[in-house]
Every structure is written in structure tokens, then in C-alpha cells.
Amino acid sequence: MSITRLDPHERLSGAVICNGMIHFAGQVTTDETLDTEGQTANVLHQIDSLLAQAGSRKSDIVSVQIFLTDISEIGAMNRAWDAWLDQDAKPARATVEARLVDPAWKVEMTLVARLGS
């Protein structure tokens, strides 16, 4: 069984492909000046890019974990999520409030997807 690491960094890989599944590291915004909705859209764009790099797409996402620094911002996060989501292929999802490593980050997502069919 081979393992492929995408977008490697000093301490982690952006995603790891193993046994037909793509495991994503926590994805955070590249633009800390954005509000929660904007950061969410930015993170989802990064997820799209990693999915494409792996030969997959959002309809192949199995599960998502979303971490918000302020759970009262769930409506703002959901606006970006709903605009991006494939309505015919909704993944399992959990959303929790958590303190993130960088105080400027408002949202972080990690997910598991299958390789494209």
C-alpha cells in the first residue's frame, strides 16, 4: 500500500492519500483579514485545490470537521459552506468551537474524501 503526501510542509502534509482515501490536515485561511464567511470561502477554495491535485472533487468528501473560534459565527460559516456544498453529496459533518493556533484564524477544517471515481 503506497502513501502519497500532497503539499508537504515542515511539520505536516496538506493531505495524505492512503488506501483510496484522502486525509486532509487542518485547512486555515491564507487571508487573515477576512471575516468568518470570507475565511470559510478561502478555506473551501484551498480544499477544492487539494481535491483537484488528488484527482478528486467535493462530491467525494466523506466527512468534515469544522472548528470555529466563536460558535456564534456558525451562520456566517454556513453561508459560505452552503454556497460551496454539492447539494447532492452532503458529507457527514461536525462543527465545534475551539481555540485555534493563530488568534487571527476564525475557522479551520479537516476532512476525509475518497479518491475520485
Q: For position 108, which CATH number holds?
A: 3.30.1330.40
Tell me the pLDDT tens digit for each residue of 6-55.
Answer: 888 899 998 999 999 999 999 999 999 999 999 999 999 999 998 998 88
Neighbours of 49 (CB within 10 A): 14
Domain boundaries, position 107: 3-114
Compute the distance between CA of residue 14 and CA of residue 109 in angstroms, rounded to an integer.
Answer: 11
Tell me the pLDDT tens digit for each residue of 83-102.
Answer: 999 999 999 999 999 999 99
Compute the distance between CA of residue 40 and CA of residue 54 in angstroms, rounded to an integer.
Answer: 21
pTM value is 0.92
Q: Give the number of domains in the chain.
A: 1
Query: Which is nearest to 27 in space by CA: 92, 110, 113, 114?
Result: 110
